[in-house]
Chains A and B, each alone.
Chain A
Amino acid sequence: MAYPPAAHSTTTRQPSVKVILTSADVQRVVDRIAHQILEKTQGAQQTVLLGIPTRGVPLARRLAARISAFEGVDVPVGVLDITLYRDDLRQHGTRAVGPTDVPPGGIDGQRVVLVDDVLFSGRTVRAALDALNDVGRPASVQLAVLVDRGHRELPIRADYVGKNIPTALAESVRVTLAEPDGVDEVRLYGGAR
């Protein structure tokens, strides 16, 4: 989840659009992160993937499917909704609360890998860490993102990065995935250039 939400300015100038990752790229990147998770977690033992809505959830499911295809390990996948933990609740109208779905085994003593589409300010991840705290006590927490676009506002970094994209603050990154949006793609919408 890009944070703050990607704002599409409707200035008179046409914003430029650039495709950063194509559908094939996205699949390769997901495969690579799946391998990296296997490598860094000793075969994904004692590991739980938690997707952050909206697009972290299908990403987490895909990672689990790839891990299962590569090594036959079934990694539990869950959903962690962070709405009630956001630090900007009062800057907007009331946000709808989404479902949180922790795998039946829970997360106590497990290695939790948080999965999101875009890492930006880091505030979503901070909220996710707070939410995690109320759900259980994992042994450790890691972070996997499809895109890191920089501009961190908090001391947070990702353990697994699909692609680093240097961006200007005025630009916005949009990830679309086949499950919710029909096509896998990462686009960069330019500010005025």
Chain B
Amino acid sequence: MIRHLLSSADLDAGTALQILDTAAEMATVAGREVKKLPALRGRTVVNLFYEDSTRTRISFEAAAKRLSADVINFSVKGSSVAKGESLKDTALTLQAMGADAVVVRHPASGAPYQLADWIDGSVVNAGDGTHEHPTQALLDAYTMRSRLGRLAGLSVAVVGDVLHSRVARSNVLLLSTLGAKVTLVGPPPLIPVDIAAALAPGTAVCYDLDSVLPQSDVVMMLRVQRERMNDSYFPSAREYARRYGLDGSRMRRLPEHAIVMHPGPMNRGMEITSEVADSPRSTIVEQVANGVSVRMAVLYLLLGGNNR
């Protein structure tokens, strides 16, 4: 097993499938009366979040607690970081406290790599800038596999702001490792020309959503990042929604078995309408539940043995 999880590219097919299989066993714990396993008793997991996040932080916290690890939540507000402490000094503090794993979210791409150099424990990337978010990709793959029964050969359309999306990047890397065929869809300014080939050979690019839908097993809608709206990547929210938003009539062009995914948080009415988000094809709520199981699997596989 690997020591850190920094990028989906760290995972070969065998390791990725081991995580998904372990997650499936972890999922059975959620149905039991005692939702707790003793595997990480006495281990300390620190959630180090330099960016706002609800679902990812809570998901990691629930995962660590279900494995009986001690969890320390460190959010930047109200900490010494607000007084100007550097990432390195914070890392050394965590190191001195004996953190066995640090789950880090940071606005700077690559910050988790720096952290991994500074501390002895395992580092899990929970989203760094516009770079990667590997546990999101793992939970998406887990959701696809549990709904559709396989990953190899699936056609997956990733729709929206690929340029700024760490979710898209991690998904393209992981899905191509696992044999799915990814098509990136969105307005040209948000899909860098060379990104497809640079990430994984075989990744396709298409600027027309309607032509991609009939051949897709999975449509993954990305959040339109409103904070980037003024950067004139597209003329207006309305035009974006008309061309790349998933509404009921577009959803009906999908094959009957196809599913609709969204990493959350959603902008209802923007990239996805409520009709689609609340339809039986949507896996959005499942993705959240699966997130806990997948993160349990990752923490167990990183910390469960004597891997250092």
Q: Which residues of A contact B (CB under 8 A)?
A: 81, 84-85, 89-100, 130, 133-136
Contact of B33 among A84, A89, A136 (CB under 8 A): A136
Closest to A87 in B: B38
Residues of B within 8 A of A93 (CB): 1, 305-307
Residue B32 at the chain A interface, CB threshold 8 Å = yes
Task: Determine whether the beta carbon of A99 is less than 8 Å from that of B25.
Answer: yes
Could you jot down 5 A-B contacts, CB within 8 Å? A89-B304, A90-B305, A96-B18, A97-B26, A98-B25
Cα–Cα distance between A135 and B26 once the two chains are bound (Å): 13
Contact of A94 among B34, B38, B300 (CB under 8 A): B300
Residue B301 at the chain A interface, CB threshold 8 Å = yes
Contact of A97 among B25, B302, B307 (CB under 8 A): B25
Task: Determine whether the beta carbon of B304 is less than 8 Å from that of A94.
Answer: yes
Given contacts A89-B39, A134-B36, contact A96 B304 (CB under 8 A): no
Q: Which residues of B contact A (CB under 8 A)?
A: 1, 18, 21-22, 25-26, 28, 32-34, 36-39, 300-302, 304-307
Residues of B within 8 A of A92 (CB): 305-306
Given contacts A94-B1, A97-B22, A99-B25, contact A84 B305 (CB under 8 A): no
Cα–Cα distance between A94 and B36 once the two chains are bound (Å): 19
Closest to A134 in B: B34
Residues of B within 8 A of A133 (CB): 34
Q: Report, nearest first, the 5 A-B pairs whose CB atoms are least far apart.
A: A94-B305, A84-B39, A134-B34, A94-B304, A93-B305
Task: Determine whether the beta carbon of B306 is less than 8 Å from that of A100.
Answer: no
Residues of B within 8 A of A89 (CB): 39, 304-305
Residues of B within 8 A of A97 (CB): 21-22, 25-26, 300
Given contacts A84-B39, A100-B25, A130-B38, contact A94 B301 (CB under 8 A): yes
Residues of A within 8 A of B300 (CB): 84, 94, 97
The prevalent SS among residues of B at the interface is loop
Closest to A84 in B: B39
Closest to A90 in B: B306
Cα–Cα distance between A130 and B34 once the two chains are bound (Å): 12
Closest to B23 in A: A97
Beyond A84-B37, A94-B1, A133-B34, 5 additional contacts (C-beta under 8 Å) are A85-B37, A92-B306, A93-B1, A93-B305, A94-B302
Closest to B297 in A: A97
- Closest chain-A Cβ to B25's Cβ sits at a distance in Å of 5
Contact of B305 among A81, A95, A136 (CB under 8 A): A95
Residues of A within 8 A of B39 (CB): 84-85, 89
Contact of B22 among A96, A100, A130, A134 (CB under 8 A): A96
Task: Determine whether the beta carbon of A81 is less than 8 Å from that of B25.
Answer: yes
- Closest chain-B Cβ to A94's Cβ sits at a distance in Å of 4
Cα–Cα distance between A97 and B19 once the two chains are bound (Å): 10
Task: Determine whether the beta carbon of A91 is less than 8 Å from that of B306.
Answer: yes
- Closest chain-A Cβ to B77's Cβ sits at a distance in Å of 35
- Closest chain-A Cβ to B160's Cβ sits at a distance in Å of 35
Cα–Cα distance between A103 and B26 once the two chains are bound (Å): 18
Task: Determine whether the beta carbon of A134 is less than 8 Å from that of B32.
Answer: yes
Cα–Cα distance between A134 and B30 once the two chains are bound (Å): 12
Residues of A within 8 A of B28 (CB): 99-100
Residues of B within 8 A of A91 (CB): 306
Cα–Cα distance between A89 and B26 once the two chains are bound (Å): 17
Residues of B within 8 A of A81 (CB): 25
- Closest chain-B Cβ to A82's Cβ sits at a distance in Å of 11
Cα–Cα distance between A136 and B18 once the two chains are bound (Å): 28
Closest to B304 in A: A94
Closest to A136 in B: B33
Residues of A within 8 A of B34 (CB): 133-135
- Closest chain-B Cβ to A145's Cβ sits at a distance in Å of 24
- Closest chain-A Cβ to B152's Cβ sits at a distance in Å of 21
Cα–Cα distance between A94 and B307 once the two chains are bound (Å): 7
Residues of B within 8 A of A84 (CB): 37-39, 300, 304
Cα–Cα distance between A135 and B300 once the two chains are bound (Å): 20
Cα–Cα distance between A84 and B68 once the two chains are bound (Å): 11
Residues of B within 8 A of A96 (CB): 18, 21-22
Closest to B24 in A: A99
Most buried by B among A90, A92, A97, A98: A97
Cα–Cα distance between A84 and B29 once the two chains are bound (Å): 12
Closest to A133 in B: B34
Closest to B36 in A: A134
Residues of A within 8 A of B305 (CB): 89-90, 92-95
Residues of A within 8 A of B36 (CB): 134
Cα–Cα distance between A99 and B300 once the two chains are bound (Å): 15
Cα–Cα distance between A96 and B1 once the two chains are bound (Å): 10
